[in-house]
Amino acid sequence: MHSRVYLAVLLLLVVAACKKDPVTPPDGLIVQPVVKAVYVLNEGDFSDPTGARLTVYDVEKDTVYRDVYEAANNGSHLGNVGDDMKFYNGKAYIVMSGSRNLIVMNLSTHRKELEVSFPGSAVHDLLIDSVRSRLYVTRLFSSSVYVLNLSSLALIDSILVGANPQGMALSGNKVFICNSGYGSDSTVTVVDATTLRAVATIRVADGPTGAAVASDGKVWVVCTGNAFAPSPTKGKIFVVDPTTLTKTDSIRFTENLWGSIVMSQDGYAYVLGTTSGSFFGGPVHRISVSSKTVALNFITGTYYGLGYDDVAREIYVSDVREFSGNGDVKIYTNAGALRRTFSAQKGPAVFGFKR
Amino acid sequence: MSSTIFAGRFGIAHGAASVFVPRLSLAKDGVFYLHMIVVSYILLVLAAVMESFASIRLSIDEPYDSTGVAVRRLADSVASEAYTLDEILVTGTRVPHTAALSALPVSVAGKADLARTNAVSLAEALSSLPGIFIKNYGGVSGLKTIAQRGLGAEHTVVLLNGMRISNVQNGLVDLGLIGIDEVERLEVLRGGQSASFGADAVAGIVNAVTTAPGDEHVTVTSSVGSFGYRRYSIGVGGKVTDALSAHATYRDERGDENYPFLFRNGEQRFELVRQNADFTSRVGTLRTDVQFDERLHLSLFGRTFTSKRGVGGPVVGPASVSVARQNDDDHLLQLMVKSENVPLGYHLGMQFHYSYQRYEDRAFIIGASALDNFSKILDYRIEPGVLYALGEATRVALGGEFAHTAGRGNVLASDLRRVTSALYVAGQQRMIAPSNLLSGVWLYPALRFDAIRTGTETLTNFSPQLGAVCTFRGIGGVVSPTLRASVSRNFRAPTFNELSYAGGGGIGNPRLQPERSTSVDVGLDLAVSLFGRHLLQVSYFDIAMRDRIVWVSAGGFGVTPRNVRRVRTNGVELTYRWLFFEEQLSVGINYTSLAARKTEADSPSDRNPHAHLIYIPQEAAQYTAAYRCALGDGVFREVGAALSVAYVGFRYTSEDNQKFLPSYAVAEMNLRLGLAIAGLAVDVRFDVNNVFDKEYQSVPGYPMPLRSYRAACNITF
């Protein structure tokens, strides 16, 4: 009898001693319909299956909402490592390289409309061809690009390109695909958007990673350089004529570039450099599209993501704070003055503008 | 440099650093030596007080030997329920002593203890011990590493037969690759022990002792289980001559590991099957023992191991697929000569250890090449030592450790060589003679000097340690307490990866300094005879670490390791066993509560200066109930059963402690039957793992199997 009582008391004490799990932080607020908003896709931790999160900045109410996708989808998450996001026709196309999935989200309700998985393919970057209703998706470690139907996400074709394809741009009926090779490749594959066949390979410099189309239709390609090559190379930007597929101009940098590039309608390209001692991006450099003059360190700091709001003429940059917690988003005027800072979520990386 | 002192205890300022002088700061060393003084003082005062009361206590007339306790060496099946701490000899120490006389908490598991668990490898066996958390990357084939006392795998030294097998390349030992059937005895000494074992003995050491040749026997074992698990082994052993005995084993183990698991995303629930986690491994061992005379003994042990396995990788979505594969080869040869002469004994250990690891992932292509990394480590070492008894009260161990380690691999910037030269002195000193109440008070001073040259860089380190034990005779014939304490300075040497990594995404740092730490342990052991027998061990530990190596951004496009972090881990470990019904039944509880935190920011931009370390549970417990009964000389010799429930508390998974993996409790049970059929000893067992089909993860993204079964039959001729 004594033994049993003793055993029961002992077990009770030990069980009672166990700490309870922390309460999971609330998954954010239900977003009221927003008219003008900036969407921030947060990468999240590489090890976190639920790491990719969506933060929304309601421009009119000057209010920030976090975990917007979870709030609208009964707690479901986007996936692991949110890498790219593009808007078209009231929908957001969001791709996760870790969980290998692509989600189409309604921009009014934030509800998921479609999802497709790519087992074995680290899908990484997106490009929308609205004319032909196609969606291009790079396969980061498979040297190829998937072409999907923009409405159904049905696979149309797979195109072989160079190593580790990342940024893409569409000019006329040509798709320019940057074969970054993480610095080991130095080519851009040009694909005919009608036939979906590669028509040219343009040699640029080490690590072509980002591409954007200027107002004159020319394609700007950002090459990061290769810091780990036996003879390290620095960053470079090439301007490519989409008609002749020739390089018409180039801009050399004395540092490596991060790889991001955005164009503004008022005639500037913005790129991210790299900060010495940081693995998480760099300052914003501004380049005149017409004169090619470079304003180095137009915005100082270490920024991981870059966006441009053509309506408000504002520059959005993200500071991931070394992924040690939630990152910040900073909004600068096109004159380079800081207007606002807000806290996003872990690893803010990609911006989308709903107008 | 200006704060460098010549010798901390003298507090003499010295302007220039000497390579033979540890770089200690005045303030930190002051605290360290204060700890040593306080621990010694408390123990001595306590002993003196108890001594003064001895005359009024009951006199319990127990026999004891010259060291004050009954030291009985157990040939085999040590640490079964029938033995107490003062009967268990701990061999993984420089001055061998019984568990009851250890200044640090000791867990010893013998064959009988291991048989009660469902363990198939060291990893599962260790996971049941206090203070230890096994980071399990899933199933049988997944990587399994030890996290002891809130620190990493690189902070525990793993020994095989007392000699180091930890991998210099990455500081890890995959504990899933050492089968439990190879092990006769498992010793875990928790707490810092660089004074005895040098670099990396920060959280503790694990010593696996392989099976010694016994009487003539042939043993055949076959196991089958869920998810295509198959295991076949044969062992042959016995005496070749009166002096020479040998034991050889061969084992083949494989599994498909295509176990079902659940993946949840909000309200969505996916029933998935683990893919690319199959494995095949083969291991052969040969141990030869020569007993030249009563005290001179030679042992030769060889082990060859090869394994091929899929690496399932993290599951971060329903479409997660991995095609990565890993091969491991590990070959080891040990020669040990030991003389137990009194007063002067000696030992000489020599080891050759080659390990090869290759990891390839055809789906991970950078540039034009798929990921295909390999590393080869070749380690030779020689460890001589003497043990001298200076009268009845004092024993001194003097020895050295000399090792040459060469590393090659395509993730290293260049081939690396490490030469380790170390000298140590360790002692056991009885301070107070046995009396009616006190069995005695022992001090364990130890000091070790290490010079570790890697490439062109040499690091030197002095590691002091002072331990103390105060044992009491049974109070009232019921309670037998032992108090123990230890304080030590410990260090971890950078791994080859940390020094010379060049595999992309980062770069090693050849100028890394060792991590340095101070450990304090205080504990109490109690043996109580009341409604059976109760064995209780409670320990408090505190480890303050500085210069912890963390991979931080290096500029450009990579990360590099730097000595930036300060960490403090402290907590309480409790082990309790209750044996009753003539010790046929036992109930055990292991419980650990700890805090492992950064104590300051890694850098000015670090937002989490006092965050808990990730992946470390703050709480763990295991409850075990075991029954074993001898049935007599008929067909049914013995029956046994065990049920255990392991609880692991939540683990933070993000540096800002905003995300965590939930706690879990997993049960396992087994039923064992010993038979005697036609002169054969037949042991059959049936194991059930994850009895209640618990869905859980040990490491984020790595699902563990739901309920699984395993049956085994062991026939000994």
SS (H, E, C) B395-424: EEEEEEEEEEEEEEECCECCCEEEEEEEEE
Question: Quick one: pLDDT band at residue B502, thresholds 50, 70, 90?
Answer: confident
CB-closest option in A18, A21, A47 to B700: A47
Is A324 in contact with B532 (Cβ distance < 8 A)?
no
Give B268-292 pLDDT, tens digit per residue.
889 999 999 999 999 999 999 999 9
Task: Check if the beta carbon of residue B206 is closer than 8 Å to that of residue B123.
Answer: no
Task: Check if the beta carbon of residue B511 is closer than 8 Å to that of residue B495.
Answer: no
B605 interfaces chain A, CB cutoff of 8 Å: yes
What is the distance between the alpha carbons of residues A152 and A280, in angstroms, rounded to a whole number?
Answer: 36
Give me the residue label for tokens 């993204």. B701
Contacts of A12 (CB under 8 A, 6+ apart): none
What is the distance between the alpha carbons of residues B508 and B269, in angstroms, rounded to a whole number?
Answer: 42
What are the chain B neighbours of A22 within 8 Å (beta carbons)? 650, 660
Q: Are strands B533-555 and B558-580 parallel, antiparallel or unpaired?
A: antiparallel
Mean pLDDT score, A106-127: 94
Write down the number of H helices and E strands in chain B.
Answer: 5, 37
Count of pairs with CB atoms under 8 A, one residue in A, one in B? 180
Task: Check if the beta carbon of residue A316 is closer than 8 Å to that of residue A334.
Answer: no
How many CB atoms within 10 Å of residue B582? Answer: 8
Query: What residue of B is the nearest CA neighbor of A235?
Result: B556
Task: Check if the beta carbon of residue B396 is closer than 8 Å to that of residue A193.
Answer: no
A153 interfaces chain B, CB cutoff of 8 Å: no
Q: Residue B391: is its pLDDT beyond 90? A: no
Beta bridge partners of B603: none
Task: Check if the beta carbon of residue B278 is closer than 8 Å to that of residue B316.
Answer: no
A186 interfaces chain B, CB cutoff of 8 Å: no
B341 interfaces chain A, CB cutoff of 8 Å: no
Task: Give me the pLDDT at residue B438, please.
Answer: 81
Average pLDDT, chain A: 91
Query: How distant, in Å, are the alpha carbons of B253, B272, B305, B683, B710 from that of B224?
Result: 10, 23, 21, 14, 6
Residue among A312, A310, A304 nearest A40 (CA):
A304
* Shortest distance, CA B395 to any CA of chain A (angstroms): 41
Give B98-138 pLDDT, tens digit per residue.
888 899 999 989 988 898 899 999 999 999 888 899 999 99
What are the chain A neighbours of B267 within 8 Å (beta carbons)? 74-76
A255 interfaces chain B, CB cutoff of 8 Å: no
Task: Check if the beta carbon of residue B353 is closer than 8 Å to that of residue B331.
Answer: yes
Q: Residue A243: is its pLDDT beyond 90? A: yes
What are the chain B neighbours of A77 within 8 Å (beta carbons)? 265-266
What is the distance between the alpha carbons of residues B675 and A306, in angstroms, rounded to a whole number?
Answer: 73
Query: How distant, in Å, are the alpha carbons of B67, B244, B289, B290 from that of B241?
Result: 35, 5, 11, 9
A70 interfaces chain B, CB cutoff of 8 Å: yes
Is B556 in contact with A228 (Cβ distance < 8 A)?
yes
CB-closest option in A3, A77, A99 to B320: A99
Query: B21 — alpha (psi -120 to 50), left (phi > 0) or beta?
Result: beta
Is A279 in contact with B662 (Cβ distance < 8 A)?
no
B587 interfaces chain A, CB cutoff of 8 Å: yes
Q: Residue B32: is its pLDDT beyond 70? A: no
Is A2 in contact with B531 (Cβ distance < 8 A)?
yes
Check residue A336 and report its DSSP letter. Answer: S
Is B650 in contact with A22 (Cβ distance < 8 A)?
yes
Q: Residue B33: is its pLDDT beyond 80? A: no
Give A69-110 pLDDT, tens digit per residue.
999 998 899 999 999 999 999 999 999 999 999 999 999 999
Beta bridge partners of B366: B369
Is A163 in contact with B365 (Cβ distance < 8 A)?
yes
B 249-268 residues with CB below 8 A of A? 263, 265-268
* Shortest distance, CA A337 to any CA of chain B (angstroms): 23
Is A98 in contact with B316 (Cβ distance < 8 A)?
yes
What is the distance between the alpha carbons of residues B127 and B40, in angstroms, rounded to a whole number?
Answer: 33
Task: Give me the pLDDT at residue A130, please.
Answer: 96
CB-closest option in A25, A143, A256 to B557: A256
What are the chain B neighbours of A10 within 8 Å (beta carbons)? 576, 589
* Shortest distance, CA A182 to any CA of chain B (angstroms): 7
B623 interfaces chain A, CB cutoff of 8 Å: yes
Task: Check if the beta carbon of residue B167 is closer than 8 Å to that of residue B156.
Answer: no
Residues written for chain B: 717
Contacts of B582 (CB under 8 A, 6+ apart): none
Q: Which helix (H) or strand (E) holds A218?
A: none
Instruction: Give per-residue burial for A12-39: e unless 16+ CB within 10 Å, then b.
Output: eebeeebeeeeeeeebbeebeebeebbb
Instruction: Give per-residue burial for B139-176: e unless 16+ CB within 10 Å, then b.
Output: bbbbbbbbbbbbbbbbbbbbbbbbbbbbbbbbbbbbbb
Task: Check if the beta carbon of residue B704 is closer than 8 Å to that of residue B698.
Answer: yes
> What is the pTM assigned to this prediction?
0.85
What is the distance between the alpha carbons of residues B19 and B23, in angstroms, rounded to a whole number?
Answer: 9
What are the chain B neighbours of A21 within 8 Å (beta carbons)? 649-650, 660, 662-663
What are the chain B neighbours of A117 within 8 Å (beta carbons)? 317-319
Say which residue, B69 or B351, is predicted with more confidence.
B351
With 0-12 / 13-18 / 19 or more C-beta atoms within 10 angstroms meaning exposed / middle / buried, residue B59 is exposed
